[in-house]
Amino acid sequence: EVVNFLNRGILIPAIVTGENSLENDDLGTIKGNFIKHYPKGSDVQLLVQPEDLEHDDKSNLKLEVVDRKFRGTNFIYTLKTLSNLLIPVFVHSHHIHQHEIDEKFGIKRPIYIDHIVCF
């Protein structure tokens, strides 16, 4: 319900690995500050919003572009992971170049999300 209300993000499975970190099979380690703390080893659903991930052409984490929508002065790319999760990523329209459907899109590592929201 929360994700539908926000209408901007998705929930992805993750495991809490420490006080400020969790792990997702597709994205790897994600660090940040938990809004609510969970015990290490907890299975959670992590809320990922378009502005949570950063684009980086040099990254070794590459996901497939399956959609691109223009929103104001920005693009929201929908990226598909190896396990078929569809993750939205926000990129400013003045970025050096745009990515086309079926191209690979790099995600900056390490992934850091200021406020980690899990359910």
Per-residue pLDDT of 87-96, as tens digits, reads 999 998 766 6
| Residue 3: predicted pLDDT | 58
Contact at 8 Å (CB) between 28 and 109? yes
More confident residue, 106 or 6: 106
Q: Which domains occur in the chain, in start order?
A: 2-116 (2.40.50.140)
Query: Is the pLDDT score of 61 beyond 60?
Result: yes
More confident residue, 42 or 93: 42
| Residue 46: predicted pLDDT | 98
State the pLDDT confidence band at 4, using cuts at 50, 70 and 90: low
Token couple for 107: 């995600």
What is the bridge-based pairing of β-strands 43-48 and 10-18? antiparallel
| Residue 2: predicted pLDDT | 57
Q: Give me the chain's average pLDDT, please.
A: 91
pTM of the model: 0.87
| Residue 37: predicted pLDDT | 95
More confident residue, 75 or 44: 44
Query: Is the pLDDT score of 51 beyond 90?
Result: yes
Structure-token match 């190896």, residue found = 82
Token couple for 27: 């994205």
